[in-house]
A = this chain, B = another copy of it.
Amino acid sequence: MLHNPHATGAEARAAIRAGQWTGPTAGLAPGYTQANLTILPEADAFDFLRFCVRNPKPCPMLDVTDPGSPHPDPAWAEGADLRTDAPRYRVFERGELVDEPTDLLDWWRDDLVTFLLGCSFTFERALLAAGVPVRHLEYGCNVSMYRTTRQCRPAGRFHGPLVVTMRPIPGNLVARAVQVTSRYPSVHGAPVHIGDPAALGIVDLAQPDYGDPVPVEAGEVPVFWACGVTPQAVALESRVPLMITHTPGHMFVTDRLDEELAGR
């Protein structure tokens, strides 16, 4: 039901909140923008906010809540509750995964601040609509992700590597892929690197650090985009006392249409 073309973001959140859906959100409420979640105590939130400002490609901020409020801006998700409306969460203490609950009711605190960060699901839909193949969707697997040797610009206690996704693109469609994703700066925007993986310190494309390997075929070029896993890698490396994220692929579904993000 949630995968039918008429399902709304609000319907997806209601089903998730009711415990009727605990799986990955790819394909749910088609056309509605999904977001990464990063949740931090207020004491670390200002540092992380500056980190996002300094690293807008991996960390494009869609919304930041008031401290203690589990409610995002209604313009993003009317009536939503961030404690219950993602299918699954990951709780990290000093960089260690300590829990993976389906809601945060036991973990919520009055000083928590939630960051909604853009997700590349939005531009993947746009790539497909423009005739650019998205190989990992064809294979039915996860996108390949790599920790690079490129460091993010630090802010306060937050520092660490840029994480990128890689999509193999046929040479005659690379320019199109740049054009299409450039229209979506709030969901990572244009690629950060095209071609030689070694320039990013990636030794073997067949061994991604996260996700699944996706082969680059003859005539295709590996194209790299900044990835929303970056804040998680950075927060882990920074060993913050408490950080909560969604479980990768188990995103927060908003009320905004993907097309509303074009050109923002």
Q: A107: which B residues are within 8 A, CB to CB?
A: none
Indicate with 1 or 0, residue by residue over A244-264, a CB within 8 angstroms of chain B CB atoms. Answer: 000000000000000000011
A54 interface residue per 8 A CB criterion? yes
Q: Does B66 lie within 8 Å of A54, measured CB to CB?
A: no
Task: Give the one of A46, A54, A66 with max B CB within 10 A.
Answer: A46
CB-CB nearest in chain B for A182: B263
Give the shortest distance, in Å, between A196 (CB) and chain B (any CB).
23
Q: A189: which B residues are within 8 A, CB to CB?
A: 263-264
Q: A66: which B residues are within 8 A, CB to CB?
A: 50, 155-156
Task: Give the one of A42, A45, A54, A182 with max B CB within 10 A.
Answer: A54
Give the shortest distance, in Å, between A39 (CB) and chain B (any CB).
15
Which one of A2-10, A56-64, A91-99, A129-137 is at the interface? A56-64
How far, in whole Å, are A190 and B263 apart by their CA atoms in the complex? 8
How far, in whole Å, are A73 and B54 apart by their CA atoms in the complex? 8
Indicate with 1 or 0, residue by residue over A152-174, a CB within 8 angstroms of chain B CB atoms. Answer: 01011000000000000000000
Q: Does B75 lie within 8 Å of A153, measured CB to CB?
A: yes
Please count how many residues in chain A sit with their CB below 8 Å of the partner chain's CB atoms: 23
A185 interface residue per 8 A CB criterion? yes
A49 interface residue per 8 A CB criterion? yes
Knowing A185-B185, A190-B263, say if A63 contacts B56 (CB, 8 Å): no
Q: Does A264 lie within 8 Å of B185, measured CB to CB?
A: yes
A48-105 contacts to B, CB under 8 A, are: 49-50, 53-54, 56, 61, 63-64, 66, 73, 75
A-B contact pairs, 22 of them (CB 8 A): A45-B46, A46-B46, A46-B49, A49-B50, A49-B53, A50-B64, A50-B66, A53-B61, A53-B63, A54-B63, A54-B64, A54-B73, A56-B264, A66-B155, A66-B156, A73-B153, A75-B153, A182-B263, A185-B264, A189-B263, A189-B264, A190-B263
A-side interface residues toward B, CB under 8 Å? 42, 45-46, 49-50, 53-54, 56, 61, 63-64, 66, 73, 75, 153, 155-156, 182, 185, 189-190, 263-264
